[in-house]
Chain A
Amino acid sequence: MTVAPAVSTHVSSPVSAASVAEQLPALPEPSCSPAVDSTVSQPVVPSSGVEADPAKWPVRVLAYWGAETLALFRSVPLAIMLIALLAIATLVGVWIPQEGLVDLADIKRQYGASYQTLKAFGLFNVYSSPWYVALEVLFFFNLLLGSFRWLKPATTAGLKRQFLSVSQLQKASTALAPIAVTAPWPVTLEALRKVLKKRGYSVYVQPDGQPDKPPVPDVSINHSLGETRVYATKGWWTRLGPAVAHIGILLLLVASLYGTLTGFKVQHVAVPGETFRLSAADRLFKNAPAGFWLGQVPPWSIRVQDFHVDYYANKPDTPKQYFCTLDVLDANGKPLRQGETISVNHPLTLGNFTIYQASFAPTGKLFLTLNGQPVAVQADQNFNNRPIAVLPVSASGNRALFVFPFYRQQDAGVTDNNVVVFLHNGKQFEGAAPGKMPTNLRLSEGQSGVIAGVKVGYVKPEIATGLQMKEAPETFWMYLAFFIICLGTVMCFPPQRQLWLALAPVSSAESSQTTSPEVVGLLYWLPKTNKGKHLFQQELARLQLELIQCLAPPGPEDQTLAQSVAVHHQPHARKEPK
């Protein structure tokens, strides 16, 4: 059993991987078109009935424009243009400060007189401007129509189990030089199958050149000598990648639309102990205008039990995490969830409804003790542009405590929440003197002290929690779309390798011209890859070597044989680079 390479007339030296590699001709350039022109279906010419009737010319014009418009809408160049335009439009939104991200007053100050003009073009709200939405809609339809138009042939081109005949392979300019075969067909096929399988190929055989017979998937072959066509491929599933990714994008857009039509968002700032209804929260945003919105706000209430902030011990002005404990109540006040604690990155989910810990802020309310009695005061007065709380300590109201609150994060250099307390006697601060700070007390949380005979304690400030809630019925579909997009883009990465092979018997006339009558046939082969041609070239070199080594290491006799065969059977081998 011998299979010898017929790729070169220079086979006097022993066959090695390097020499085989050098001898390989160039691979075909990656292309979506078939390697060999098979039957190309011609477009069906419509009957001339419409053309013959002049009265139907408006129909013709409309049909022409309709077809042209459809062709334009689903074209890849339009897709490329839309992607580029979306990129540029998004870039504009990055470059020009957007309302909602930047303070409106700052934008007005920056753009001055041109503010109104630019606003008219939606440049301060790019992503919700009509022209950006129009681009998105156009992109959606291009994606929808184009996905069916050009993804299908591109996908199926790699999935077809196509067999090529010897004559087709001989005509193919990118076919490799044939290999001489001396072994019987079944043995050769089995060896070929083994080598290709080892390299990860799926192998399909069409015996005896009979196109009517269905392909035989990877089974032992036992048939008579005759032209046998083999198709081998690996990575066929990568052809599905673009289609999968596009389906994912379409699903994402549809899911977003579903979310827009049915979802809503709620924002509310609550203090511990407060209960609020969703429908009466600070802000309720329905994702679509009233006429289009199809969702429903559940009749639920949220009761905030507690809120607290943890700070870093080594950096007291940086919050480590903040926690809110809350209950969710139904319309009758019955708890749906009770005592749930949420924090940043750890929301509470009830079906499609989610409650997020978004922010926190002091309300200005201070819990103090006055001569041992708890009191709550609001810092709603202004003193030199600082909010302060004024707490009367005499019946007449002349004497009052002026309480200056300081908060971590908000005030520079403050590492804990504290208050500074002064006593005002109606005319001036106690202990006031020129060039001297009046008598005061600085109290941290839990501390107390005495100022001018008044005992004051600072319990804590009131901190409100910023809650964000949303109803997102599209969540499952969004996650599915994300998964499909990721899968599709990853699937696009590996290349698809294809090999068309055909075993042809050598006629007695041809055989008599060879130096050895042992040659019984030739293996023609044509490789194709949709990407990664350099690596494919290397793989082919190794594959060719493996074919030789696996079947039978060539001896001197085989080399002579190969030489003789190569002389007669290499009209289609490409010239090697010199």
Chain B
Amino acid sequence: MLPLETSTLVFWQDERFWLHGGLILLVLAVFAYVLRLLFAQRPLAHGAAWWLLLLSAVAFSTSIACRSAEAGYFALSNMYESLLVLSIATQCLFLWLDRTFRLPAMGWPVSLLVLATVAYATTLPTNIQPLQAALQSYWRSIHVPVILSAYAMFTLAFISSLLLLVQSWREQGAPSHRANGQQNIHAASQGLPSFGLPLLATGPEAAGGSGALSLVSLYDEVTYRCVTLGFPLLTIGIILGGLWANEAWGNYWSWDPKESMSLVTLLGYGVYLHLRVNGEHRPQTLAWVSVAGFVLMLVTYFGVNLMGVGLHSYGKIG
């Protein structure tokens, strides 16, 4: 029988304290985002959701910082840590998007997805392992966060695309909604919850001047902005990985499954960007391409790890 571990850490140095605190804040953020939709006019509902999500991101970041202090290196070397950092990146980038575009309808799916991600991460092995030699490089602290930031942008693009498709379906499916297509925005700006699907109906409330553009157009733009930011991040991340590989192994590229799949993801989003600049494509078509890109991203992030082959095997699940 193993002796009971006696921790010398005070509570605020304990990563679990911040992790659990962040989870509680995140649950509250999900509720706050739902309330924010229902009571869009209330200033408290407006600010509370945003701040709760921010505090939750700060708590998760502190948890990673505590873990890094305990491990003696930047704790971003296994799937648990990777998912946690991805969640933080998604939260922070959504907070920025929300500030820029006013996207209350995106708040609850984003915060819910982050909650599910962190909850799943906690089921994975969380014990701190010593770093293998190949991972002891400053490149790890650059390459991995950049890639995860790209993944966060693609996740937000995915959610925005889904909202676009749902909104488009609603506008096409129900004449009342179609007629109300422009009015949803104004209803939201006046604090009136729209009918039907309230969680998906409201959009850029009080987005000064954007009243003339539809919600489909707004989500199309948000998706585009997310992809145009995610694409360079993924490009830079892959190139940084290539530079690291060249320094560690003498090869920029080894056609390792993770590498190849990241190239597939990059090419997928490359198709999205080229479709945008070539001809007029329906926002719905582009949204489906974005969804396909997200599926490729998931295969890169999770799927390849299940194969257990290649140079990125430390990212394996379990």
Residues of A within 8 A of B207 (CB): 534, 538
Contacts A101-B310, A576-B212 given; does A344 touch B252 at CB 8 Å: no
Contact with A along B299-318 (1 / 0, CB 8 A): 00000100001100000000
Contact with B along A312-324 (1 / 0, CB 8 A): 1011001111100
Contact with A along B191-225 (1 / 0, CB 8 A): 00000000000001001111111000110010011
Contacts A344-B134, A576-B212 given; does A358 touch B274 at CB 8 Å: no
Complex CA distance for A396 and B74, rounded to whole angstroms:
61
Residues of A within 8 A of B256 (CB): 101
Q: Is the CB of B217 within 8 A of A531?
A: no
Q: How far is the CB of A379 from chain B (nearest CB, A)?
A: 26
Contact with B along A153-191 (1 / 0, CB 8 A): 010000000000000000000000000000000000000
Q: Is the CB of B249 within 8 A of A358?
A: yes
Residues of A within 8 A of B257 (CB): 94, 101
User: A76 is contacted by which of B132, B239, B274 (Cβ under 8 Å)?
Assistant: B274
User: Within residues 300 to 355 of chain A, which ones have a CB less than 8 A from any CB in chain B?
Assistant: 312, 314-315, 318-322, 343-345, 347, 354
Q: Is the CB of B239 within 8 A of A354?
A: no
Quick one: which of A77, A91, A242 has the most chain B CB within 10 A? Answer: A91
Q: Is the CB of B271 within 8 A of A83?
A: yes
Contacts A24-B212, A531-B224 given; does A83 touch B270 at CB 8 Å: yes
Q: Is the CB of A542 within 8 A of B278?
A: no
Q: Is the CB of B225 within 8 A of A345?
A: no
Residues of A within 8 A of B137 (CB): 345
Q: Is the CB of B210 within 8 A of A534?
A: yes
Contacts A87-B268, A356-B250 given; does A540 touch B133 at CB 8 Å: no
Residues of B within 8 A of A22 (CB): 209, 211
Say yes or no for B8: interface residue by CB 8 A criterion. Answer: no
Name the segment of A437-445, A489-497, A547-555 touching the other chain.
A489-497
Q: Is the CB of A532 within 8 A of B132?
A: no
Residues of B within 8 A of A97 (CB): 309
Say yes or no for B113: interface residue by CB 8 A criterion. Answer: no
User: A315 is contacted by which of B130, B232, B255, B268 (Cβ under 8 Å)?
Assistant: B130
Residues of B within 8 A of A17 (CB): 208
Quick one: which of A26, A87, A154, A541 has the most chain B CB within 10 A? Answer: A87
Q: How far is the CB of B75 from chain A (nearest CB, A)?
A: 16
Residues of B within 8 A of A315 (CB): 129-130
Q: Is the CB of B255 within 8 A of A347?
A: no
Say yes or no for A509: interface residue by CB 8 A criterion. Answer: no
User: Within residues 126 to 155 of chain B, which ones have a CB less than 8 A from any CB in chain A?
Assistant: 129-130, 132-134, 136-137, 139
Q: Is the CB of A486 within 8 A of B232?
A: yes
Contacts A102-B309, A265-B250, A534-B213 given; does A93 touch B260 at CB 8 Å: yes
Say yes or no for A577: interface residue by CB 8 A criterion. Answer: yes
Find the B residue at minimum CB distance from A531.
B224
Say yes or no for A25: interface residue by CB 8 A criterion. Answer: yes
Contacts A94-B304, A482-B239 given; does A321 touch B136 at CB 8 Å: yes
Residues of A within 8 A of B100 (CB): 535
Q: How far is the CB of B54 from chain A (nearest CB, A)?
A: 21
Complex CA distance for A154 and B211, rounded to whole angstroms:
30
Q: Is the CB of A538 within 8 A of B212?
A: no
Say yes or no for B174: interface residue by CB 8 A criterion. Answer: no
Q: How far is the CB of B280 from chain A (nearest CB, A)?
A: 9
Name the segment of B58-66, B114-122, B240-248 touching the other chain.
B240-248
Q: Is the CB of A345 within 8 A of B213?
A: no
Say yes or no for A429: interface residue by CB 8 A criterion. Answer: no
Quick one: which of A319, A469, A486, A540 has the most chain B CB within 10 A? Answer: A486
Say yes or no for A84: interface residue by CB 8 A criterion. Answer: yes
User: B229 is contacted by which of A493, A533, A540, A541 (Cβ under 8 Å)?
Assistant: A493
Say yes or no for A21: interface residue by CB 8 A criterion. Answer: yes
Q: Is the CB of B261 within 8 A of A482?
A: no
Residues of A within 8 A of B261 (CB): 90-91, 94
Q: How far is the CB of B77 from chain A (nearest CB, A)?
A: 13
Contacts A83-B267, A154-B277, A538-B210 given; does A345 touch B248 at CB 8 Å: yes
Residues of A within 8 A of B263 (CB): 87, 90
Q: Is the CB of B264 within 8 A of A541?
A: no
Q: How many residues of A contact B (CB 8 A)?
A: 68
Say yes or no for B275: interface residue by CB 8 A criterion. Answer: yes
User: A537 is contacted by which of B136, B212, B260, B264 (Cβ under 8 Å)?
Assistant: B212
Contacts A94-B304, A127-B255 given; does A493 touch B228 at CB 8 Å: yes
Contacts A101-B257, A318-B130 given; does A489 touch B212 at CB 8 Å: no
User: A87 is contacted by which of B229, B264, B278 (Cβ under 8 Å)?
Assistant: B264
Contact with A along B263-294 (1 / 0, CB 8 A): 11001101101110110000000000000000
Contact with B along A509-537 (1 / 0, CB 8 A): 00000000000000000000001111101
Contact with B along A13-27 (1 / 0, CB 8 A): 000011001101111
Complex CA distance for A315 and B252, rounded to whole angstroms:
31
Q: Is the CB of B271 within 8 A of A80?
A: yes
Complex CA distance for A101 and B258, rounded to whole angstroms:
12
Say yes or no for B231: interface residue by CB 8 A criterion. Answer: yes
Q: How far is the CB of B208 from chain A (nearest CB, A)?
A: 4
Q: How far is the CB of A80 from chain B (nearest CB, A)?
A: 5
Q: Is the CB of B213 within 8 A of A101?
A: no
Q: Is the CB of B212 within 8 A of A490?
A: no
User: A541 is contacted by which of B186, B209, B243, B255 (Cβ under 8 Å)?
Assistant: B209
Q: Is the CB of A577 within 8 A of B277?
A: no
Say yes or no for B13: interface residue by CB 8 A criterion. Answer: no
Q: Is the CB of A347 within 8 A of B250?
A: yes
User: B274 is contacted by which of A80, A86, A319, A537 (Cβ under 8 Å)?
Assistant: A80
Complex CA distance for A486 and B208, rounded to whole angstroms:
34
Contact with B along A464-488 (1 / 0, CB 8 A): 0000111000000011001001100
Contact with B along A36-79 (1 / 0, CB 8 A): 00000000000000000000000000000000000000001101
Complex CA distance for A347 and B139, rounded to whole angstroms:
14
Q: How far is the CB of A89 from chain B (nearest CB, A)?
A: 9
Q: Is the CB of B274 within 8 A of A344?
A: no
Contact with B along A92-106 (1 / 0, CB 8 A): 011001100110000
User: A345 is contacted by which of B182, B224, B235, B247 (Cβ under 8 Å)?
Assistant: B247
Complex CA distance for A90 and B267, rounded to whole angstroms:
10
Say yes or no for B236: interface residue by CB 8 A criterion. Answer: yes
User: A485 is contacted by which of B101, B239, B273, B278 (Cβ under 8 Å)?
Assistant: B239
Q: How far is the CB of A83 from chain B (nearest CB, A)?
A: 5
Residues of A within 8 A of B213 (CB): 26-27, 533-534, 537
Q: Is the CB of B182 within 8 A of A21?
A: no
Q: Is the CB of A79 within 8 A of B247?
A: no
Q: How far is the CB of B274 from chain A (nearest CB, A)?
A: 5
Say yes or no for A32: interface residue by CB 8 A criterion. Answer: yes
Q: Is the CB of A314 within 8 A of B130?
A: yes
Residues of A within 8 A of B250 (CB): 265, 347, 354, 356, 358, 468-470
Complex CA distance for A266 and B277, rounded to whole angstroms:
45
Find the B residue at minimum CB distance from A577.
B182
Q: Is the CB of A534 within 8 A of B217?
A: yes
Residues of A within 8 A of B232 (CB): 486, 489-490, 492-493
Q: How far is the CB of A465 from chain B (nearest CB, A)?
A: 13
6 tightest A-B CB contacts, nearest first: A489-B232, A541-B209, A26-B212, A87-B267, A21-B208, A21-B209
7 more contacts with CB within 8 A, not counting A18-B208, A98-B255, A321-B136, are A27-B212, A27-B213, A76-B274, A315-B130, A343-B133, A345-B248, A468-B249
Q: Which residues of B contact A (CB under 8 A)?
A: 100-101, 129-130, 132-134, 136-137, 139, 182, 186, 204, 207-213, 217-218, 221, 224-225, 228-229, 231-232, 235-236, 239, 242-244, 247-250, 252, 255-257, 260-261, 263-264, 267-268, 270-271, 273-275, 277-278, 296, 304, 309-310
14 contacts between A and B (CB under 8 A): A79-B274, A80-B271, A84-B267, A90-B264, A101-B309, A344-B133, A358-B250, A482-B243, A486-B239, A534-B204, A534-B217, A537-B212, A577-B182, A577-B211
